[in-house]
Amino acid sequence: PDKAQLDLKIRELLLTLADNPVNGELLSCFSSMMQEPKTVSLQRVMEDNFCFNLRLEDFARLTTRSLSSFTRDFETLFNTSPGKWLTEKRLDHALHLLTNTDKTVTEAAYESGFENASHFSRAFRARFGSSPLSMKRQKVA
C-alpha cells in the first residue's frame, strides 16, 4: 500500500483507540512509552525482539534511529556490538530451551532467532564447548 495512505490509516486507528473511554490503560501505556528515555526504549526493544531474526536495520527502525545512531547508542549502552550481543543472547536462550524444555535442537535454534541450524550448532559449540545435542542429552541424564 501507499506509504501516505498507510500512515493515515495508522493515525486513524490510534485516534479511534484514544477516543474510546475504555482504553484508558492502553493510552497510559502509550503515554509512558513516549516519556521513556531512549536508552530504556532501546534496551526494551532489544530484550523483547532478540528472538526474531531481524536485520540490524530493522532493530534501528524499531528504536526510531538511523543505523549509525542505533549502533553507537547500542555500543554505549551494552558495551559490545549489536551482532555479538544478539548472538550471545540467542545462544543463552537456546541453552535455556534445550535444558528446560522438550524442544528439539532445531526448534530451539529457530525459536532463538537462528535461521540456519548448522550456524547455530557451530556458534553453540564455540560458546559452550559442547554440541546442542550433547547439552540436551546431559540434561536428560
Average the pLDDT over 3-28 and give the result: 80
Q: Is the pLDDT of residue 130 over 80?
A: yes
Which among 92, 99, 83 has a CA at the least distance from the CA of 127?
92
Which pLDDT score is estimated for 36?
54
DSSP state letter for 64? T
Q: Could you report the per-residue pLDDT of 16-65, keeping only the tens digit for each?
A: 877 787 877 777 766 665 665 566 689 989 999 999 989 999 999 888 88
Sign of CA dihedral 109, 114, 115, 118: negative
Cell numbers at 83, concatenated: 551482532
Q: Say how far residue 72 (Cα) sits from the centre of its chain.
A: 18
Q: Is the pLDDT of residue 141 over 60?
A: no
Cα–Cα distance between 66 and 76 in angstroms, integer?
Answer: 15
Q: How far is CA 108 from CA 86, 94, 133, in A?
A: 15, 5, 11
Which pLDDT score is estimated for 25?
77
Average the pLDDT over 122-141 and give the result: 88
Which pLDDT score is estimated for 79?
97
Mention every residue, 6+ apart, whose C-beta is less than 8 A from residue 106.
117
Cell numbers at 2, concatenated: 501507499
Which pLDDT score is estimated for 32?
62
Mention every residue, 6+ apart, whose C-beta is less than 8 A from residue 51.
90, 93, 111, 112, 113
97 or 1: which leads in pLDDT? 97
Burial class (CB in 10 A: 0-12, 13-18, 19+), 131: middle
Q: Could you report the per-residue pLDDT of 72-118, keeping only the tens digit for each?
A: 999 999 999 999 999 999 999 999 999 999 999 999 999 999 999 99
